[in-house]
Each structure stands twice: as structure tokens, then as C-alpha cells.
Amino acid sequence: MIIANWKMNGSKELIKDWMDFVSQNIEINQEKECILCPPTCYLYFTGTLIKQSYEGIKLGSQHCDSVLSAPLTGGTNSQMLEDAGCEFVIIGHSEQRVHLKESNQILSDKLKSSIGMNLKPIFCIGETLRQKEANQTNDILIQQLDAIPSNLLQKCIIAYEPVWAIGTGENAEISYIEEIHSFIKEELKNKSNSTNYISVVYGGSVNLDNCKEIYSSDKVDGLLIGGASLDSNTFTKIFNIS
């Protein structure tokens, strides 16, 4: 799967133009899903376009709140996301962990709420540069994975995004990515007590120069793309060559 995470970018015009170009130029493959995660305010608009004309593109949200009903100004619950046409939701991104102080309990509640509405969580984990340099990466990833109830692991997609590589232009070496993905997959296997496969995708300054090498690894099941996904031509090239 190739996931476009637009963060706080976009407009109706940009979304329409992007979807026109991408839908006409990507090589549709049932085994490689194309997922667009626009800002929350454009979810219903994007979902309506997908239903009308763009069945090859699936809709994901960048955010959801942990409860279905609460007096929360500006809140967006999983039922609203499902109603807008979402099939996926990003949970646990480092930017929200830092700025919104999201604890494992909050993230666990978000996972339960999302899965209860048949949304597929894209659960983000990753270490900071300080943690990496202190050889704490594995411990941090284990702590973050603990937010996922073991009985819900099979319903999640894991996205490994080293915090030090998000939006910085710093790229993790393929050997490092494979090492960490192998570790994550082994932890998931032990935690779930199952041989069923759980996808682990990679994110962190993915671009045209590194996407093919990363995606070609048998340890990597997809890509979570930030800034490079905003340009429809760049995203299409990444999708087709990955």
C-alpha cells in the first residue's frame, strides 16, 4: 500500500486535480492500495469524489478522537469518519504524540473506537534521534506497540516512522530499515501469538530517490509518504515504480 499523508495542506481544487491525475496514471493493483489522507475538513468532499469517480483511491483520515460521544469542541469521532467514507485512519503519529500529549491509553481507546467502526488503523511508531543515539530504539518501539490490545493487532497496519527522518530530508539506510522492520515483525508475532501476517509500512522522508529501494525490500509492506505525496506527478511515479 502507498499512503499519501497530506498533513495540514490542500484545497478542494488541489484534491480534485490530484485525484484526476493520479486515478488516470497509477497502475491499479489490488495488492497495492492507494490511500489518500487529506485534512479533516476535506474528508467528506474527498469521499464524495471517490464514490462518484475514483474507485481506485481509498480514503483515510489523519486523526480521530477516542470516544464516540463527548462535549469536545472540534472533535471528530470514528463514526463521523466512517460516514464520510473513510476506510483507514492514522493513529499515533509522532506529531500528535508530541503536540497533543497522546498517551498509550488514549491511543488504545482510539484504536478500539476506530476498529469498532470498521476503520483500519495505520498505527505509527518510531524513535527520536536522541533515543536512537542512546540505543533505546527497540525499547521505545515495544512501549509504543503496547498501546495496541493483542486481540486487535490483526486489524492494524503498523507504520514505522523514525521521528528523526520525518520531514527532515534525513533518510534511514535500507539496512537500518530492514533491521527495525524485522524486529517489529517479530514483536508483533510474539505479541499476537499468531502466524497471521501484519503489514509494516515505512515512512520518513520517502521520495523519488529512495522509494524503489525501500519498497523492494521483503521487510517493507508499503510506504507512508508526506511532502512528496502532495505533487500528483511525483506521487504517481513513486506509486508506479515502487
Strands 57-61 and 34-37: parallel
Give the total residue count for the chain.
242
Residues 19 and 52 sit within 8 Å (Cβ to Cβ) = no
Question: Under 8 Å CB-to-CB from 183, ≥6 apart: which residues?
Answer: 138, 141
Q: Is 216 exposed, middle or buried (0-12, 13-18, 19+ CB in 10 A)?
A: exposed
Cα separation, 222 vs 29, in Å, equals 13
What is the DSSP secondary-structure string of 39-97? -GGGHHHHHHHHHHH-TTEEEEES---S-SS---TT---HHHHHHHT-SEEEE--HHHH
Catalytic positions = 93, 161
DSSP percent split of the chain into helix, strand, coil, nearest 5:
45, 15, 40
| Residue 58, C-alpha cell as written in the block | 481509498
* Gap between the Cα atoms of 171 and 153, Å rounded: 28
10 Å CB burial of residue 179 (0-12, 13-18, 19+) is middle
Listed residue (46, 51, 63) closest to 102, CA to CA: 63
